[in-house]
Amino acid sequence: MGVPRVLLIARTRSQGESPFAEALEKRYTLQVVPSGKQALTDAQAQPPQVIVLDAISMRTPGDRICKQLKTALPTTWLIHLHPGPENGADSLADALLYPPFTWRKVVNKIDHLLSEDQHVVRAEALIVCGPFAMDPVQKVLTAHGDEIRLTPKLVRLVEIFMRNPGVTLARRDLMAHVWNTDYLGDTRTLDVHIRWIRRAIETDPSKPQYLKTVRGVGYRLEVPMTALPNGVHAAALLLQEV
């Protein structure tokens, strides 16, 4: 892949560049832009592997910029340097950092997200469940004849559902397996990913036929039993095997 490209959105100080820029440019091919609008234009022309939104330097929570970037560039990793939950926290970023933190913490987050791109979900080329098929290596889901590109997090989440059809999966377990956390104080990211999956697989996402909500518990993927791969019963596919 070569040297990863990182796009940093930050307002420069009167003394010079962003406090994170010097550290980042030693490890990555770095581009610094002063606004979300400029970042969107540049990222669409030449997509980076990671975008770092330094909302702290911009003296704004940055949630609106974050949403615009994630909507336009759903497969690009986004790290949000947020001024703090007291300023509101409605971020769709893949990683959210509140001060105080050091440049090393930012670098560690970037490296962690880049390592996700190297994650091979399964050796087999295709995972099939009912009317759906997914190629985890190419990060493509086929549903109703359409091919949908997925982010690495969506690949992991969809795989869990496809390997556990008919099984109710708790929100806590999904957060643990996909985001490596059991913190349930804010599951907005999970909710957003569930909506993305429903838009891909449901005829009417507002009235899901396949990915059902189990109120107070989590979610369950329901497909016709006759359509399960190799006639395997749903109970034989366990979450801990993912």
Residue-range domain boundaries for the chain: 5-117, 127-241
Residue pLDDT, tens place only, 78-103: 999 988 776 555 667 888 888 888 88
pLDDT of residue 197: 95
Segment holding 201, helix H or strand E: helix 188-201
- Collect all residues with Cβ–Cβ distance below 8 Å to 162 and sequence separation of at least 6: 127, 128, 129, 132, 134, 221
pLDDT confidence of 15, banded at 50, 70, 90?
very low
Higher pLDDT, 106 or 233: 106
Average pLDDT over residues 47-71: 88
pLDDT one-digit tens code per residue, 50-59: 999 999 888 8
Cβ within 8 Å of residue 224, ≥6 positions away: 130
The CATH number of domain 127-241 is 3.30.420.40: no
Q: CATH: 3.30.70.2080, 3.40.50.2300, 1.10.10.60, 3.40.250.10. Which one for 5-117? A: 3.40.50.2300
CB distance 103 to 94 below 8 Å? no
Cα separation of 220 and 166, whole Å? 6
What's the pTM value of the predicted model, to 2 decimals? 0.53
pLDDT value at residue 198:
95
